[in-house]
Amino acid sequence: MTRIDFYLLSSKHANASERTACRLAEKAYNLRHAIYIHTGSQQRTAQMDNLLWTFRDGSFIPHQMHGQDESHNSPVIIGHQTSPDEELTTHHQLLINLDQTVPSFFSRFERVAEIVSADEQQRQAARERFRFYRERGYELETHELAG
């Protein structure tokens, strides 16, 4: 069964959620996991694409946006589709969710990372996602992060 981790951020920095997603993706990449970062919008997908190159000096996380040339077999794919197609079948280890809703395809992943900023509106949406998972019996963990 999919394990769900909620990462609660105390920082109100504008892109704290995205930077946390980069750190989680880097850690998972170093463990050789296949990662899908779900953003919820084309603009946010492009933002994550840029940030994965620049979030930390010396970091390198090979990635591509969903729908680009899939022949590279990148370990990290970023997308905003509500229902990713079959080419993502190899990306089943970690889903990093940056959207405010539960992706319909979350259960095909071994683990879901829900990143929640300090913004009250995002916290409320996260509470609803937490309730959704809990009511369906998923294993939930909560982590409070300073960043």
> pLDDT tens digit string along 2-20?
999 999 999 878 789 999 9
pLDDT at 86 over 80: no
Give the pTM. Answer: 0.91
Distance, in Å, from the CA atom of 118 to the CA atom of 19, rounded to the nearest integer, reads 14
pLDDT at 94 over 60: yes
86-102 burial, b if ≥16 CB within 10 A, otherwise e?
eebeebbbbbbbbbeeb
pLDDT value, residue 14: 76
The neighbouring-strand residues paired with 65 are 78
Fold of 3-145: Rossmann fold (3.40.50)
pLDDT in tens, 25-79: 999 999 999 999 999 899 999 999 999 988 888 777 888 888 766 555 788 999 9
Which carries the bigger pLDDT value, residue 47 or residue 88?
Answer: 47
Distance, in Å, from the CA atom of 49 to the CA atom of 45, rounded to the nearest integer, reads 6
pLDDT value, residue 64: 83
The mean pLDDT of 122-135, rounded to a whole number, is 97
Nearest Cα to Cα of residue 93 among 109, 115, 113: 109
pLDDT value, residue 57: 83
pLDDT value, residue 72: 57
- Which of 72-86, 101-115, 131-145 bottoms out in mean pLDDT, i.e. has the lowest? 72-86
